[in-house]
Amino acid sequence: MAKRSIKDVALDGRRVLIRVDFNVPIKNGAITDDTRIRASLPTIQYALDHGAAPVILCSHLGRPKGKPDPEFSLKPVAARLSDLLGRRVVFAEDCIGEPARTAVGQSGRGAVVLLENLRFHPEEEKNDPKFAAALASLADVYVNDAFGSAHRAHASTEGIVRHVKESAAGLLMIAEIEHLGRVLERPDRPFVAVLGGAKVSDKLEVIENLIPRVDALLIGGAMAYTFFKSRGLPVGASLVEDQLVDAAREIETRAKARSLRVELPADHVVAPASALKGEKVASEVLAVGDPAIGDRAGLDIGPKTIGTFRGVIAGAKTVVWNGPMGVFEIDAFAKGTIEVAKAVAAINGTSVIGGGDSIAAVAKAGVTDRITHISTGGGASLEFLAGRELPGVAALPDKP
């Protein structure tokens, strides 16, 4: 799936429109996490260094329901990006029409223009051809660097490609495709997948796609309790997706037929469900299946499971991890996730991490710089790992 890169396109003196992912958390007008902005900097800087005249940036932010909403304005992002780049970023009050044309027309080589939120127009999510053409009219070259939005067939990610002279993938997009593609198609072995999070439904297709590919599958988090229920084990008040109990049973049957090692928690930290509301409650480590769980919920993996998971991960040459092992946002139930983060970072091989909680865990564990690739994709990463075609990737031309 080698795609044409920004490095394969002449940029000097040309208007370069880059679709970035600036969907960052903003509270009271202040950006609380600029990770996605920082992730776009190499592509933006590359375009500046190669004579783009100007660099034009477009992104969505939040869910403004197809109309302007000050709460979802990208203006704070323009200010933060200006600080990060060390140069003024021109902010256009709209992403199409006269405000956009004027901002771009008055900016030349070395300038950066950030257009207002794409989703202030309902035509963006509808992939409206006229809206896509209006965006395309601002540029000579289109670059998609928003892997996190590549699973959506929107005007700025898919439709626009049909209306520009040249298009290519940005550096972040290329890195995401290469790293995720490599672990799926040609991983160094043993290849271990670690999956967690709340719901089996979020990861069902991923598990199904990974069963024939991995050498071991470790499952933690609340999603494990749907598997436990499929085995007839007591789960107390733990989160279970009853409609997927049969699917969980089928996954284990398929894995067994392939002699795939599947590890579910052997012990867990249980506590009253009121702990999820911030109440301070007593917790206890129990073996999975112990009826003493009563009406309590499993909220983290236990020490025996941590040891088992750590041992399997240590022997891996490739690890993919998505989803926490427990209710990570509460410190009392974060240990399993933190220990898995440390184990993944310690492998002598390739580690690929996705999902906000997993990314936060490696940061909290202080091992971010020891992870081979941290995907900013979220839903796009999961769909890629599930084997789905991503419209925003498929629309881009292949490498010549």
> Can you tell me which residue has the tokens 């660097």?
145
Of 324, 194, 321, the closest CA to residue 263 belongs to 194
> Max alpha carbon distance in the chain (Å)?
70
Q: How far apart are the first and last CA of the chain?
A: 12
pLDDT of residue 337: 95
User: Which of 289, 356, 370, 388 is the catalytic position?
Assistant: 356
**Bridge partners (DSSP) listed for residue 353:** 321, 374
38 is catalytic: no
The answer to whether 6-171 and 179-385 have equal CATH topology is yes
- Counting Cα atoms < 13 Å in the Cβ hemisphere of 63 gives 0
Class of CATH domain 179-385:
alpha beta
Distance of alpha carbon 22 from alpha carbon 78, whole angstroms: 10
Could you count the other beta carbons within 10 Å of the beta carbon of residue 348? 9
Given a contact cutoff of 8 angstroms between Cβ atoms, the answer to whether 191 and 215 are in contact is yes
CATH (one of 1.10.10.10, 3.30.70.590, 3.40.50.1370, 3.40.50.1260) for 6-171: 3.40.50.1260
User: Which of 261, 304, 379, 388 is the catalytic position?
Assistant: 379
Given a contact cutoff of 8 angstroms between Cβ atoms, the answer to whether 69 and 56 are in contact is no
Distance of alpha carbon 261 from alpha carbon 258, whole angstroms: 9
108 is catalytic: no
Phi and psi at 365, nearest 5°, equal -80, -10
> Can you tell me which residue has the tokens 């900016």?
107
The four Cα atoms 55, 172, 40, 27 give a dihedral, to 10 degrees, of 140
Given a contact cutoff of 8 angstroms between Cβ atoms, the answer to whether 164 and 141 are in contact is yes
pLDDT of residue 202: 86
User: Which tokens belong to 114?
Assistant: 């950030």
In single-letter form, the type of residue at position 101 comes to R
pLDDT of residue 1: 62
36 is catalytic: yes
pLDDT of residue 333: 95
pLDDT in tens, the chain (400 residues): 689 999 999 999 999 999 999 999 898 888 988 889 999 999 999 999 999 999 999 999 999 999 999 999 999 999 999 999 999 999 999 999 999 999 999 999 999 999 999 999 999 999 999 999 999 999 999 999 999 999 999 999 999 999 999 999 999 999 999 999 998 899 999 999 999 998 888 888 999 999 999 999 999 999 999 999 999 999 999 999 999 999 999 999 999 999 999 999 999 999 999 998 888 889 999 999 999 999 999 999 999 999 999 999 999 999 999 999 999 889 999 999 999 999 999 999 999 998 778 888 888 889 999 999 999 887 888 889 888 899 999 999 998 8
- Distances, alpha carbon 68 to alpha carbons 7, 71, 102, in Å: 35, 9, 19
Of 211, 215, 217, the closest CA to residue 193 belongs to 217
Distance of alpha carbon 203 from alpha carbon 74, whole angstroms: 31
**Bridge partners (DSSP) listed for residue 269:** 285, 300
**Residue 363 burial (CB < 10 Å; 0-12/13-18/19+)?**
middle
* Helix, strand, coil abundance in the chain, percent, nearest 5: 40, 15, 40
Distance of alpha carbon 82 from alpha carbon 59, whole angstroms: 16
Given a contact cutoff of 8 angstroms between Cβ atoms, the answer to whether 230 and 246 are in contact is yes
- Distances, alpha carbon 361 to alpha carbons 313, 330, 342, in Å: 16, 12, 9
Cis peptide before 190 (omega within 30 of 0): yes
199 is catalytic: yes
Distance of alpha carbon 74 from alpha carbon 120, whole angstroms: 11
Distance of alpha carbon 395 from alpha carbon 161, whole angstroms: 7
User: Which tokens belong to 300?
Assistant: 């983290």
Of 209, 212, 211, 252, the closest CA to residue 230 belongs to 252
Domain boundary assignment for the chain: 6-171, 179-385
DSSP one-letter code for 31: E
Phi and psi at 22, nearest 5°, equal -105, 30
